[in-house]
């Protein structure tokens, strides 16, 4: 049986992202299945994809849906139409049954199934795919399989899948070569799940709230494979790499033991780390820390249910700085309780954080299965059953979105290292030139003054 996997994500900002999820899905299949991964980024037009489909003649086509939109109120881009077009082109060339999956799909499975008229979907971990394929082969009812969605599904029973994970990484595949030639960034997962409860966040729903750790020696072995394949930088895709200090330290030690010499980075929560934490990680190659800071007002941090207060942010920042790391902070403005005072507390606090880059997202996207969804529902900002596939952003009752954007943009105008939204304007001017010069990594450090 043949399965063609397609990564449908063509967003290249801030840089194209290697479809690591598909490595895991492909890795879950045994040798009775012949699988192939392609990435739309490899192709200049969909005609090239059609040629692959005609040649490979798959029985199933698995589409990985990562981004729904760019979650940027200042320059909103949604991708549903592109996905519809993709499915239309596939159907013209193939009778293969279409299976959807991916993090974006997991947030809106029913909406995507309907909008794309797919045959099946798998919510959450794609390692459940063999169960679906076996059931289809045996012609048994697939509707009761956890995580499996069909066109008629209205209710989803789903939880994290406690399974063996195997990443099938192929250094010679054409999509790997694409990422190696465009900046050389590949990615790595060290665990699944986030134990925190931030009100707006989809990650615990996508990956679960219980952390499931991969063994550090295996992670380091995979990092070594990426490095040997020619990767110049590794991004750790964990929700928050330091959600377990113990495990992240063990991973760093395993990197040192395995001779990982390329730089790496990831997302961190700005909680106060153990002494020497960032120094140890820096010794293991950590070069970039992306803090999910969101606000520097304690009132807002409490309202967003962040696992830290502003004081911890300053401490984590200075320890990371002392370890010589490049630091970025991400801010999420306009949540419940945001007002002029909390906003100015944040902006004044930002000015006290030295040598860093700041990304400001003004307006928080409302997602199902989050506490923010319940708040928005109570406040009448959305209605029950409303389709949120087209982005809807939460509005604080105490300050308008316009006010927030204007205030942040006024501050940002004279500061090169303040990026509003995904920063496509500033970034598109700079990043391609830097990549052309052979530089690698996230590159936002070049905005630090
Ligand atoms: C790491 C990450 C990043 C990093 C990526 C760095 C890198 N080089 O890899 C950075 C910081 C660059 C980033 C940027 C962005 N991100 Co991001 N990111 C993530 C994060 C935390 C993890 C993604 C990941 O790699 N997971 C690990 C892999 C192994 O899991 P996976 O891909 O989900 O695959 C599993 C399943 O989904 C499933 N699966 C996957 N494909 C398929 C296919 C089939 C057929 C099946 C059956 C199953 C299946 O099986 C896999 C194995 O279990 C997710 C949130 C999350 N926790 O999922 C957000 C997330 C994917 N990002 C999101 C967004 C919006 C963005 C940005 C648009 C933000 C912005 N405005 O800049 C950009 C887009 C960048 C781009 N070019 O696409 C959203 C996407 C949903 C949405 N709202 O559109 C997410 C879900 C977060 C959220 N807000 O909810 N991101
Ligand atoms: S720490 Fe990060 S990943 Fe975890 S719930 Fe909060 S925002 Fe989400």
Least confident of 39-48, 95-104, 132-141, 431-440: 431-440
- The SS3 call for residue 288 is strand
pLDDT average, residue stretch 24-32:
97
| Angle at alpha carbon of residue 387, lines to 195 and 237, rounded to 5° | 30
* Ligand lying nearest the CA atom of residue 102: 1
Q: How far is the CA of 349 from the centre of ligand 2 (A)?
A: 21
Q: What confidence score (pLDDT) does residue 433 get?
A: 72
Residue range 400-414, pLDDT digits in tens:
999 999 999 999 988
Whole-angstrom distance, CA of residue 149 vs CA of residue 113: 8
Q: The domain 2-149: what is its CATH number?
A: 3.40.50.2300
* Residue 108's pLDDT band (cuts 50, 70, 90): very high
Q: What confidence score (pLDDT) does residue 6 get?
A: 98
Q: What confidence score (pLDDT) does residue 222 get?
A: 98
CB 263 within 8 A of CB 293: no
pLDDT average, residue stretch 25-43:
97
* Residue 101's pLDDT band (cuts 50, 70, 90): very high
Where are the domains positioned within the chain?
2-149, 183-447
Give the whole-number percent of the chain exceeding pLDDT 70. 97
Question: What is the overall mean pLDDT for the chain?
Answer: 95
Q: How far is the CA of 66 from the centre of ligand 1 (A)?
A: 5
CATH 3.40.50.2300 fits 183-447, yes or no: no
Q: How far is the CA of 267 from the centre of ligand 1 (A)?
A: 13
pTM confidence score: 0.96
* Residue 263's pLDDT band (cuts 50, 70, 90): very high
* Residue 425's pLDDT band (cuts 50, 70, 90): low
Return the sign of the alpha-carbon dihedral for residues 411, 415, 419, 423. Answer: positive
Pocket residue to mutate for ligand 1, from 103, 108, 122, 264, most atoms within 8 A of Cβ: 103
Pocket residue to mutate for ligand 2, from 196, 236, 371, most atoms within 8 A of Cβ: 196
* Ligand lying nearest the CA atom of residue 293: 2
* Residue 422's pLDDT band (cuts 50, 70, 90): low
Helix 109-116 vs helix 80-93: angle between axes, to the nearest 10 degrees?
Answer: 50
Ligand 1 proximal residues by C-beta, below 6 Å? 9, 11-14, 16-17, 20-22, 24-25, 62-64, 66-72, 99, 101-104, 106, 122, 125-127, 129, 185, 187, 189, 202-203, 206-207, 235, 237, 239, 422
Task: Quickly list DSSP for 355-393.
Answer: S-EEEEEESEE--TTSHHHHHHHHTTSS-TT---SS--E
pLDDT average, residue stretch 276-292:
98
Q: Whose CA is nearest to atom 3 of ligand 1?
A: 237
Judged against a pLDDT cut of 90, whether residue 337 lies above it is answered with yes
């Amino acid at each position: 049986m043949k399965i063609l996997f397609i990564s449908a994500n063509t967003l290249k900002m801030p840089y194209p992202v290697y479809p690591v999820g598909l490595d895991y899905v492909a890795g879950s299949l045994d040798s009775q299945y012949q699988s192939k991964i392609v990435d739309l980024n490899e192709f200049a037009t969909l005609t090239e994809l059609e040629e692959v489909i005609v040649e490979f003649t798959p029985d199933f086509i698995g589409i990985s849906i990562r981004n729904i939109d760019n979650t940027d109120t200042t320059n909103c881009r949604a991708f549903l139409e592109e996905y519809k077009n993709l499915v239309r082109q596939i159907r013209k060339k193939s009778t293969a049954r279409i299976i959807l999956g991916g993090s974006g799909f997991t947030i809106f499975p029913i909406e995507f199934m309907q909008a794309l008229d797919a045959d099946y979907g798998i919510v959450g971990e794609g390692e459940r795919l063999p169960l679906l394929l076996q059931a289809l082969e045996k012609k048994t009812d697939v509707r009761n399989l956890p995580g499996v969605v069909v066109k008629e599904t209205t209710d989803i029973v789903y939880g994290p899948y406690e399974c063996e994970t195997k990443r099938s990484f192929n250094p010679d595949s054409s999509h790997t070569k694409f990422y190696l030639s465009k900046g050389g960034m590949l990615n790595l997962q060290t665990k699944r799940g986030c134990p925190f409860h931030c009100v707006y966040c989809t990650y615990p729903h996508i990956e679960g709230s219980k952390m499931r750790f991969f063994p550090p020696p295996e992670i380091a072995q995979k990092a070594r494979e990426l490095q040997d394949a020619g990767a110049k930088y590794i991004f750790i895709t964990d929700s928050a790499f330091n959600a377990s200090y113990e495990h992240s330290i063990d991973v760093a030690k395993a990197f040192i033991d395995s001779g990982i010499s390329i730089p790496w980075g990831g997302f961190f929560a700005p909680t106060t780390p153990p002494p020497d934490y960032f120094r140890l990680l820096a010794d293991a190659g950590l070069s970039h820390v992306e803090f999910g800071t969101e606000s520097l007002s304690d009132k807002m941090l409490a309202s967003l249910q962040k696992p830290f207060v502003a004081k911890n942010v300053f401490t984590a920042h200075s320890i990371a700085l002392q370890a010589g790391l490049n630091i970025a902070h991400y801010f999420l403005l306009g949540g419940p309780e945001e007002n002029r005072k909390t906003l100015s507390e944040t902006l004044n606090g930002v000015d006290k954080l030295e040598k860093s880059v700041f990304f400001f997202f003004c307006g928080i996207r409302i997602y199902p299965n989050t506490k923010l969804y319940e708040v928005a529902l109570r406040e009448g900002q959305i209605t029950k059953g409303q389709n949120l596939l087209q982005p809807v952003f939460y509005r604080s009752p105490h300050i308008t979105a316009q006010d927030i954007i204007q205030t942040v943009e006024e501050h940002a105008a004279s500061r090169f290292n303040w990026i509003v939204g995904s920063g496509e304007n500033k970034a598109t001017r700079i990043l391609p030139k830097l990549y052309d010069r052979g530089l690698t990594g996230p590159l936002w450090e070049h905005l630090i003054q």
